Every structure is written in structure tokens, then in C-alpha cells.
Structure 1
Amino acid sequence: MKVTPLSIPDVLLIEPHVFEDTRGFFFESFREDVFRKETSLNVSFVQDNHSKSFQGVLRGLHYQLPPHAQGKLLRVIQGEVLDIVVDIRKSSPTFGQYIAEILSSDNKKQLYIPEGFAHGFLTLSDTSEFFYKTTDFYHPHYERCILWNDKTLNINWPNLIEIKVSVKDSLGLSFNSTEFLP
């Protein structure tokens, strides 16, 4: 696997070694010993989540507060998404900055997002299936949501797709009203 720190260095782009031939392809999407060696991270994943979304569905920007903050290892297993990661660590030099990355079943890229980040994605293809591992369980009382189109963050979402959000996500807080992580 190839591991590349992104513009916010704690967020890692992971590109697995893919073996392709006339039959199709094979790759190890996660192998704990290789992940730990290549990332120098000692994290444990405790929950897997899988969602299907239609074109224009935007999920996020979600995160959980301590003591149940979540790190995530994510990938797209069908389709294509624009993935957004926002640094909400108040003490970080990249606080309030975001990363945008295209993840797809074709490019097989993965992102590792540590605790302290809000996360969301927009489905660009007709459908997408999104799969991710988390370092803590889902705790609804600790979950928070930043409004996806917050003016302070000024995320450059594509304007050629009609964006559809859940009622819960449409009620997300502005970035300046958000409970941040230390």
C-alpha cells in the first residue's frame, strides 16, 4: 500500500496494491499489520458501516465528541463520491481547513481520518456504496453535524448536481456555532 499525507498531514490517502488481469482484480482493502507498519498508527477499528446513496445525496458533515470521537478508514466500493474532511481541532494549525478528495470504485483510494475531523461526502455517480471502519462505536448523543454549505468553510461543492440532504443534516450547525475538539 502507498500512504500519502494530504494537505492536512494527519489525514492519509491510502492506495492499495491492486492486482488486475483479464479475470478482474484483487486487493487487500485492510490488513492490520500492514496498515500499522505503513501508517505508524496503532488504532483499533470496532465498527464497520456501509451506505448506499443516489446521485446528489450529500451526507455530513458529521463527527462525534469525546469521549466517543471516531477515527475512520473509508472507501467507495461502488460509484464515485466527493469526500470532504474538515479539521475541527481547535488547537490545530489547520483548524477550519478542509480536504476534498474524489474516491471511487475505479481508483480504489481510501482515506484515513483521525479523531478531530468532521466528515461528509456527495455522491457524483448514479449511485454509490460507501464503506468505512470506525475506531469507536456510534453514540447518537455525542454525534454532531456542521451545516454542509456553511459560509465560513466555503466548501467548493459541485454546482452541476442537485444536492439532496436529510432533514437531520439540513439542521446542522454553522461552523462558528460548532462544538470543537481540543
Structure 2
Amino acid sequence: MSTPDAADRRTAHPEVPVTSSAPYYLKGGPLTVRLNRAIGLLARHGLSLMGTAEMSVRGRTSGRMQRIPVNPHTYEGAQHLVSARGHSQWVRNMRVAGGGELRVGRKVRAFTAVELPDAEKLPVLRTYLEKWGWEVNQYFKGVTARSTDAEILAAAGDHPVFRITVTS
């Protein structure tokens, strides 16, 4: 089922003002999907590339655990997950599930997750872009670690950030 665009919502509910189109999400192409599958497989078998891990989160409709490779990011002692591609399926699942698991080899860590409001994302996004920019800059529409605070804050709404707390 697709998300209706702004024109569809305006026609269906003319009394409700439409302030934006569908949330930002950049779907990966075939090469990216294959690369992510390989990175996830490596993490599942104990080989973490620069700190990558395989995240499992319960699907909001299927109820099955969905797996995706992620780059857990530490800022001021707290771990975060940043969705460089935007409001992806794992983000939507995380909002419902409230947590999941991170795996590197046999080490599985359960965690709870709290989504940060846009106003709190600036330092996390800046340090995330400093570390992972070489991999994710293309998803940030020209925003980099060297961008101004205002530019990063303007992009913050397109990139969900979760603070995670390991529970086991």
C-alpha cells in the first residue's frame, strides 16, 4: 500500500491542511541491497566492519524479526542509531516495537530505543557524519559534517535518530 501524496490527501480531506509530502525515504538500489546483505551476513558471523552490527527489529505488521545492517554510533557515552536513508521500514518498525537486538557474531545485545526530537539531533548527526560521512553523505542532500548548524537542523527531520539502551 502506498502513502498518498499531498494532492491525494488534500482531495480526500480538504479540511486538513497539508504541510508536507510523504516523509523522506531513499530506497537502496540493487547494488546497495546486495552490499547491505553481505555486510549483515559478515556481522552475523562475527566480522564487524568499523563497528557495524546486524539489527533485528520486530515487524509492525508481520510480527517477524526483520534484519538490517546498521552503524551504531556513540555520542557522549550513549549509543544511537541513525537512519541515513530517512523514514525507512526499520524506522517505522522501531517506532512500534520500541527496541530490538544488535548482533555481531554470537554476541546478541537486546536494547530499548527512544526517538530523539529534531532539536536534540544536531550533535549526534554532526558526529555521525564525521565518522560515517564517507558512506552516507549521498543520502543527506548535500549536508555534511562541515555544514552549518542550521543546515544540519534543517535536514534533521529527514533522518530519524534513536538513543538505544542495551538491556542484556
TM-score range, shorter chain: under 0.3
Higher-Rg structure is 2
Report the TM-score when normalising by structure 2: 0.27
Report the TM-score when normalising by structure 1: 0.25
Choose between structure 1 and 2 for higher RCO, CA contacts under 8 A separated by at least 6 residues.
1
